């Protein structure tokens, strides 16, 4: 019986032109090859499954091919074929994860001095190079310092920050980008065609989204669906198989957020959570839909919309909301999405964050209406928020009683001056107001991240100044955790990326 070959192996590009989404790199490399200006050491870095090893392999053939065409390997000559089969000893692929000792690298050093046997260049592809030990890096450095003629090193890694600068400074560095959703979907389309599998493009977009920029992951997910026997991949099959929420659920929740219908929202969210769907992806989908509504509201152009199956809902929702509200929803949910992965209980975080998002605005609107009886489900919602507060550790309890009143005033000031999303974020926090500083305790990391953004921080300090009459520093802490400044900065960076790719 023929051995089953995973799609991502079967569809490893064998020419530069076949590599998707890395044109900025391919262009430079091909130029170097055509003009005979290749270097001795390269560093290919960037996130996983984006083509680093693939490109290194094509490179090893392109420079050794006896019949290259425009910088591309012919893949037909003896050398190309030999390298493709792995039978040319001059091209070596070394996995540094399992060969990371100084002796492994010394073996390479002893080997580089011999001239190539079959090919023009000896090529050493060292994958996962960040796994080398300190002394192995030193040994490698010696070789890179006096590179023998006709020897080329290609170091590949997802974690370039773990590589000593002495090594970095001797390499030409190329950054492999995460691959766009459209590029992944198009590649998946080609693969489906070659496998005689029918697939809706919207289904491929769902897979591409779940791949998060890694083409290998996209192919593996597609493999999972195809190997289950499906030959006609519809969007709903893709969603079901990838554990992604139905689009109607997504528009349902967004509609509840906009209509401020907490009870209905909780029912839908509960269904999503109960059925084991991917919570982070669910949040991303709500953001993506809110983005569509924002775009549609301002352009009325269907072509700019991603969620085309939801055009009717997009039209409807765009007429009952405004730019401000949509932007606030997007930025609030983006913070949530960036932090949900690390959360211990993503489900609870999702529920309480959505409640906070909806109820903060509800309160504002209802403040002019005479008190009406709370619906039981809203009460339950409030209890979840209360529960969250209760989980805060002792530090939170240190907030002295006399400052609690002031803190509430600070928060109310934000609401009264129209800073609704800041108000929502701070509504359930506690703070300790001292004469020379204010310490705010958050129950979740994402709230802290929002407030630590410079523009939000200065708005907060403004209201502290207005209420307390002092311009004093503000420190943000997550109750029960140490001061995690560094990680929150990284989250903000991630957030920037996420917002940009909307």
Site membership for ligand ATP, residue 199 (CB under 6 A): no
Site membership for ligand ATP, residue 22 (CB under 6 A): yes
Question: 199 with 165: CB under 8 angstroms?
Answer: no
Site membership for ligand ATP, residue 19 (CB under 6 A): yes
Q: Provide CB contacts within 8 A for 5, sequence distance 6+.
A: none
Site membership for Zn ion, residue 414 (CB under 5 A): no
Question: 349 with 282: CB under 8 angstroms?
Answer: no
53-82: which residues touch Mg ion (CB under 5 A)? 53
Nearest residue to 154 (alpha-carbon basis) of 226, 60, 88 = 60
For ligand ATP, the binding residue among 32, 54, 425, 429 (CB under 6 A) is 54
The 3-state DSSP class for residue 195 equals: coil
The 3-state DSSP class for residue 371 equals: coil
For tokens 């080398």, name the residue.
132
Site membership for Mg ion, residue 318 (CB under 5 A): no
For ligand ATP, the binding residue among 61, 122, 130, 216 (CB under 6 A) is 216
Instruction: Tell me how far, at minimum, the Cβ of 18 lies from ligand ATP, in Å.
Output: 6
For ligand ATP, the binding residue among 158, 234, 309, 404 (CB under 6 A) is 158
For tokens 């619906």, name the residue.
375
Site membership for Zn ion, residue 80 (CB under 5 A): yes
Query: What sign for the dihedral angle of Cα 295, 299, 300, 301?
Result: negative
Q: Residue 484's binding partner, choosing from Zn ion, ligand ATP, Mg ion, none, with beta-carbon cut-off 5 to 8 A by kind? A: none
For ligand ATP, the binding residue among 33, 79, 83, 215 (CB under 6 A) is 215
Q: How far apart are CA 38 and CA 16, in angstroms?
A: 16
Contact code string over 123-142 relative to ligand ATP, x by CB under 6 A: ----x---------------
Q: Residue 65's binding partner, choosing from ligand ATP, Zn ion, Mg ion, none, with beta-carbon cut-off 5 to 8 A by kind? A: Zn ion
Tokens of 227: 């190997």
Chain centroid to CA 299? 28
Burial of 421 (0-12, 13-18, 19+ CB in 10 A): buried
Q: How far apart are CA 112 and CA 332, in angstroms?
A: 55
Q: Residue 449's binding partner, choosing from Zn ion, ligand ATP, Mg ion, none, with beta-carbon cut-off 5 to 8 A by kind? A: none
Q: Residue 77's binding partner, choosing from ligand ATP, Zn ion, Mg ion, none, with beta-carbon cut-off 5 to 8 A by kind? A: Zn ion
Contact code string over 37-76 relative to Zn ion, x by CB under 5 A: ----------------------------x-------xx--
Q: Provide CB contacts within 8 A for 434, sequence distance 6+.
A: 403
Which residue, 41 or 326, is less far from Mg ion as judged by CB?
A: 41
Question: 134 with 103: CB under 8 angstroms?
Answer: no
Q: How far apart are CA 80 and CA 88, in angstroms?
A: 9
Q: How far apart are CA 256 and CA 351, in angstroms?
A: 13
Instruction: Tell me how far, at minimum, the Cβ of 21 lies from ligand ATP, in Å.
Output: 5
Site membership for ligand ATP, residue 45 (CB under 6 A): no
- Residues constituting the chain: 502
Q: Residue 444's binding partner, choosing from ligand ATP, Zn ion, Mg ion, none, with beta-carbon cut-off 5 to 8 A by kind? A: none
Question: What are residue 36's phi and psi, to 5 degrees?
Answer: 55, 45
Instruction: Tell me how far, at minimum, the Cβ of 8 lies from ligand ATP, in Å.
Output: 4
Q: How far apart are CA 297 and CA 319, in angstroms?
A: 8
Q: How far apart are CA 250 and CA 281, in angstroms?
A: 10
Instruction: Tell me how far, at minimum, the Cβ of 137 lies from Mg ion, in Å.
Output: 19
Q: Look up residue 436 and give its DSSP letter.
A: S
The 3-state DSSP class for residue 207 equals: helix
Piece in contact with Mg ion (CB under 5 A), picked from 52-60, 296-304, 344-352, 436-444 = 52-60
For ligand ATP, the binding residue among 16, 25, 41, 53 (CB under 6 A) is 53
Residue nearest to Mg ion (CB): 53
Instruction: Tell me how far, at minimum, the Cβ of 138 lies from Mg ion, in Å.
Output: 24
Q: Which residues bind Mg ion (CB under 5 A)?
A: 52-53
Residues contributing to the site for ligand ATP (CB under 6 A): 8-9, 11-13, 19-22, 48-54, 127, 156, 158, 176, 179, 187, 215-216, 219
Instruction: Enumerate binding residues for Zn ion (CB under 5 A).
Output: 65, 73-74, 77, 80
């Amino acid at each position: 019986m023929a051995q089953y070959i995973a799609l991502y192996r079967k569809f490893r590009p064998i020419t530069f032109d076949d590599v998707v989404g890395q044109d900025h790199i391919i262009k430079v490399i091909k130029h170097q090859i055509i003009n005979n200006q290749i270097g001795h050491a390269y560093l290919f870095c960037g996130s996983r499954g984006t083509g680093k090893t693939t490109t290194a392999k094509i490179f090893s053939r392109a420079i050794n091919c006896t019949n290259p065409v425009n910088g591309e390997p012919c893949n037909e000559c003896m050398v190309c074929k030999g390298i493709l089969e792995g039978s040319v000893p001059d091209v070596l692929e070394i996995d540094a994860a399992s060969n990371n000792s100084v002796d492994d690298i010394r073996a390479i050093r002893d080997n580089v001095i011999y001239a190539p046997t079959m090919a023009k260049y000896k090529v050493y592809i060292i994958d996962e190079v960040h796994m080398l030990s300190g002394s192995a890096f030193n040994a490698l450095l010696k070789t890179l310092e006096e590179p023998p003629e006709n020897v080329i090193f290609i170091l590949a890694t997802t974690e370039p920050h773990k590589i000593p600068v002495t090594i970095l400074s001797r390499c030409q560095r190329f950054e492999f980008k995460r691959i766009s959703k459209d590029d992944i979907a198009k590649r998946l389309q080609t693969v489906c065609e070659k496998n005689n599998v029918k697939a809706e493009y919207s289904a491929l977009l769902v897979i591409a989204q779940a791949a998060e920029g890694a083409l290998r992951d996209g192919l593996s997910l597609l493999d999972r669906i195809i190997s289950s026997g499906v030959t006609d991949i519809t969007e709903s099959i893709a969603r079901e198989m990838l554990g992604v929420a139905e689009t109607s659920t997504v528009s349902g929740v967004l509609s509840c957020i906009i209509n401020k219908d907490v009870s209905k929202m909780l029912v839908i969210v509960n269904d999503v959570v109960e059925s084991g769907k991917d919570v982070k992806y669910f949040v991303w989908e709500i953001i993506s839909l809110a983005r569509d509504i924002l775009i549609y509201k301002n352009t009325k152009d269907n072509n700019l919309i991603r969620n085309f199956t939801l055009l009717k809902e997009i039209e409807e929702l765009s007429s009952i909301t405004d730019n401000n509200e949509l932007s606030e929803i997007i930025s609030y949910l983006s913070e949530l999405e960036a932090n949900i992965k690390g959360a211990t209980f993503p489900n609870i975080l999702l529920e309480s964050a959505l409640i906070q998002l909806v109820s903060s605005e509800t309160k504002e609107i209802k403040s002019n209406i005479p008190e009406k009886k709370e619906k039981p489900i809203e009460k339950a919602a409030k209890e979840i928020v209360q529960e969250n507060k209760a989980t805060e550790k002792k530090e939170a309890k240190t907030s002295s009683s006399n400052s609690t009143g002031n803190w509430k005033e600070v928060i109310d000031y934000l609401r009264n001056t129209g800073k609704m999303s800041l108000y929502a974020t701070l509504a359930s926090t506690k703070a300790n107001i001292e004469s020379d500083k204010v310490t705010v305790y958050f129950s979740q990391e994402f709230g802290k991240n929002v407030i630590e953004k410079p523009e939000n921080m200065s708005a907060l300090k403004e209201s502290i100044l207005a209420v307390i009459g002092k311009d004093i520093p503000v420190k943000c802490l997550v109750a029960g955790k140490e001061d995690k400044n560094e990680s929150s900065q990284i989250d903000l960076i991630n957030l920037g990326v996420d917002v940009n790719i909307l």
